[in-house]
Amino acid sequence: MLTVSNLSVQFGKRVLFDEVQVTFTPGNCYGVIGANGAGKSTFLKILAGQVEPTSGRVSLEPGKRMSVLEQNHNAYDGHGVLETVLMGNKPLFAIKTEMDALYADYDDAHADRIGELQVAFEEMHGWNAESDAAALLSNLGIPESLHYNDMADLEAKLKVRVLLAQALFGNPDVLVMDEPTNDLDYDTIQWLENFLAEYENLVIVVSHDRHFLDAVCTHVADIDFGKINLYSGNYTFWYESSQLAARQRAQQNRKAEEKAKELQEFIQRFSANVAKSKQATSRKKMLEKLKVEDIRPSSRRYPAIIFDQEREAGDQILHVEGLEARSEEGEWLFRKGELNLAKGDKVALISRDSRATSAFYEILSGNRPAEAGSCSWGVTTSVSYLPADNASFFQSDQNLVDWLRQWAKTQEEKEEVYLRGFLGKMLFSGEEALKKSTVLSGGEKVRCMLSRMMMLRANVLLLDEPTNHLDLESITAFNNSLKQFKGTIIFTTHDHEFAQTVANRVVELTPVHTIDRYLTFEDYMTDPAIRQLRQKCYGEKA
């Protein structure tokens, strides 16, 4: 059990947490949510002992071990890969290190101490430690050939996986993770979802991935108004119930019994749809016990993201034939790229290598030449592109009003009142509309780029990792807007829910050829025949 008592955190005049009281119990997974700046990451650092609160304390049950996902990807560059994973269980690793040192400089005087260490090591299942660590690495996509390499030699996305294996190693009593799905591919995220859904100890996680939160969480820990409130159920249940409560609050004249009936029906309907076999029974029981008065509206603000078309495109959208691209090192990113885009298609463009999808977008937008092949747009298409790297759009020292004015098409749209209203809907209200474009956060830049795209009113949208840096509220609003958009979309995202609810077609770029199917994202990823084809394209064994 992990208990937070009278926790307060204040930075200058800003109060982040105010007398927080919360208890996390074993066997549950808590998804910590809150708007950007609410203090999610700070809260996890306090739990881990990395940040001292202004007042209050965190108490872990005696004898229990906490493991924290390391955020500094270069922290273990002086160690080997397998050794880094073993270091996740500090008591075990300390015993192993001492034993190795005594064996290396053996003396009869060390015999008793070595014996004591061996007993403790065996009790902690230390003789299986390396094989367990190797299995974790393999499940997370680190091939056996790299297990004895130095961490410094790994590329960044592989380091993330090793650090994740480190956090999971040794079955910790409390597992604390901040954005564990960052830089993981879909297959690895699915493995992690299944692992955590079966995990019997306490998990506390921050994530912007709604599908991940829905798959693993038994509870939501909502940071709002400087407090932390616990709710039974996953993220979708929390979101839909808070929206329902907000609508009911707006309808003050409705009878109390009518409101209660509607909420109870909602809870029962959601309970009936609970997935994940092992968690289903306990989670359903928790939802059935939930009282209607426990559900409260949130203070969250959602941006107004609405994509309109200036004109509807004709039937000819995009024809791609034989398109190929290499990396700077000369390896193939994708070959034999083929695509005939139909009006209204919403394509999830995927690849094991994110450089491949980014290169594809750059070629389509005319910013990069192809190694071979061609692409041609229909004459009635107008294309708006959101690149993964938007730094080039924020080089000038303009305020946001002047920055957005660059893409205004009419005199009315160039007026400051119109632009301020537009920015206000994207959560840049009041003085925030006069912020310099060079000092924006990553999430603010993406919201500005979305504002630009809305102003352009294109009938084809190209979106390369559009959910990067966005909070859950912005991702949800963005997701809903694309579902409603009547035009054509090609998008790449690591957000499973985003891909599943928007795409009607999946196109995968591989070093061999393009895989193209009119399927939902979920059906594509789980189809056995497609799985075999993907493995063949990437040179993997079935």
pLDDT recorded at residue 486: 95
Most confident among 225-234, 241-250, 508-517 (mean pLDDT): 508-517
What is the average pLDDT across 313-323? 95
Other Cβ atoms closer than 10 A to 219: 21
Q: Where is pLDDT greater, at 253 or 514?
A: 514
- C-alpha to C-alpha distances, 102 to 79, 86, 118, 421, nearest whole angstrom: 20, 19, 12, 71
* Three-class secondary structure of residue 67 per DSSP: strand
Lowest-confidence pick of 44-58, 137-151, 279-293: 279-293
**Element spanning 174, H or E:** strand 174-178
Instruction: Report the pLDDT value the prediction gives residue 277, as an integer from 0 to 100.
Output: 41
Percentages helix, strand, coil for the chain (3-state, rounded to 5) are 45, 20, 35
Burial of 453 (0-12, 13-18, 19+ CB in 10 A): buried
Helix runs in 343-470, H state only: 354-364, 400-405, 411-414, 416-425, 442-456
Rounded mean pLDDT, 339-359:
94
All residues at 6 or more sequence positions from 36 whose CB lies less than 8 Å from its CB, including other chains: 441, 443, 471
pLDDT for res 278: 46
Residue 36's pLDDT is 77
Average confidence (pLDDT) over 377-406: 94
Domains in the chain: ranges and CATH: 74-170 (no CATH), 234-294 (no CATH), 318-395+457-537 (3.40.50.300)
What pTM did the predictor assign?
0.80
- Around 148, how many Cα atoms within 13 Å sit in the side-chain half-sphere? 3
Residue 311 has pLDDT above 90, yes or no: yes
The answer on pLDDT for 457 being more than 70 is: yes
Least confident range from 182-186, 215-219, 276-280, 396-400: namely: 276-280
Q: What was the pLDDT predicted at 266?
A: 63
* SS3 state of residue 58: strand
User: What percent of the chain stands above pLDDT 70?
Assistant: 90
Q: How far apart are CA 159 and CA 301, in angstroms?
A: 35
Of the candidate ranges 68-77, 202-211, 252-261, 520-529, the one whose mean pLDDT is the lowest = 252-261
pLDDT at residue 538 above 90?
no
Q: Which helix (H) or strand (E) holds 73?
A: none
Tell me: the pLDDT tens digits for 155-171?
A: 888 998 999 999 999 88
CA distance 40 to 207: 10
Mean pLDDT for 36-58 is 90
CA dist 239 and 34 (Å) reads 12
> Which is nearest to 65 in space by CA: 142, 137, 167, 154?
167
Q: Could you give the dihedral angle defined by the CA atoms of residues 278, 282, 285 and 290, in that order, rounded to the nearest 10 degrees?
A: -120
Q: Does residue 293 have a pLDDT over 50?
A: yes
**What is the per-residue pLDDT for 406?**
94
pLDDT tops 70 at residue 289: no
Per-residue model confidence (pLDDT) at position 279: 47
Instruction: Share the mean pLDDT of the chain.
Output: 88
